[in-house]
Amino acid sequence: MDSTARFSNRVQDYIAYRPGYPEAILPFLGSAIGLGPSCVVADIGSGTGIWSKLLLQAGCRVYAVEPNAPMREAAEVLLAQFPLFHSIDGTAEATKLASASVDAITAAQAFHWFHPAKTRQEFGRILKPGGHLVLIWNDRRTDSTPFLRDYEVLLKELGTDYEQVNHRNIDEGRLSAIFGPSGYREQVFPNAQRFDWEGLYGRAMSSSYVPAEGDPRHPDFARALRACYERHALEGFVQFEYDTRVYYGRLD
């Protein structure tokens, strides 16, 4: 499936059940790269605006670049109250932003969908001299609890293309290629979500590699997910644990 269309039928689950980002990231980036009020930021692959909202709350002017129309339109509704929010129908490889127009570029839970070489060229074009790139992922832990181990097995066995599109396929080589000779630094923050059955089901359905309702593979996945929940729920809840990874540096 075209990566720009993968989430079109998952927008409401994405809004309701995807994890946010730890609030500590913003003051950290303020100290590390000077991110804060008056900064102009291009948030690439901005989706429904989960990360864009934090940038706006920090006082940044945000150009949210998102190619998927349903996700972009959802963000336009959710973030309409922020006068510094600008919604752009564009891609990482063709943002439609002016040259040397932004102080920083961010991509939260999105860089693994981008074409590396074309993206680096476009990012270099729109960044002001000395500007920074920040890549963020909520990296779900896969083996820290029995529930998370079973959930990972479920995705591998009954997901559609989980191992092909998993963001963990981004390795040091690909990160080094986008940041260039000056390299990058990494900071990790803990994050978590606690779900009842409805929340767990919605969280699973927000993922593009899970068979959607209407897919003939969906009933088997839903039954296995329910069984996983029943095995591991404590007082009706299971927990997702994340390492929120922040990679940052200048683009050479």
**Is pLDDT at 132 greater than 80 in this prediction?**
yes
According to the model, what pLDDT value does residue 14 have?
85
Helix (H) or strand (E) holding 181: none
Return the amino acid letter for 129.
P
Q: How confident is the model at residue 1 (pLDDT cuts 50, 70, 90)?
A: very low
Q: Residue 71 above 60 pLDDT?
A: yes
Arithmetic mean of pLDDT, 77-106? 98
Residue with tokens 């920083």: 104
For residues 57 and 242, the answer to whether their CB atoms sit within 8 Å is: no
Distance CA 69, CA 4 (A): 9
Share of the chain above pLDDT 90, in %: 81
- What phi and psi, each to the nearest 5 degrees, are found at residue 250? -90, 155
Rg (CA), the chain: 18
Predicted pLDDT at 23 = 92
Percentage, residues of the chain above pLDDT 70: 94
What pLDDT, in 10s, does the model give residues 166-196? 655 567 888 998 999 989 999 999 999 999 9
pLDDT digits (tens, 9 = 90+) for 155-169: 999 998 887 766 555
Rounded to whole angstroms, what are the CA distances from 153 to 138, 150, 209?
19, 5, 13
pLDDT at 8 over 70: no
For residue 167, what pLDDT is reported? 57
Q: State the chain's mean pLDDT as an integer.
A: 92
For the stretch 220-234, pLDDT in tens is 999 999 999 999 999
pLDDT the model gives residue 164: 76
The CA-atom distances, in angstroms, between 207 and each of 112, 155, 186, 197, 202 are: 14, 10, 25, 16, 9
H-run or E-run covering 171: none
Q: pLDDT digit string (tens) for 24-64?
A: 999 999 999 999 998 999 999 999 999 999 999 999 999 99
Predicted pLDDT of residue 174: 87
CA dist 218 and 73 (Å) reads 27
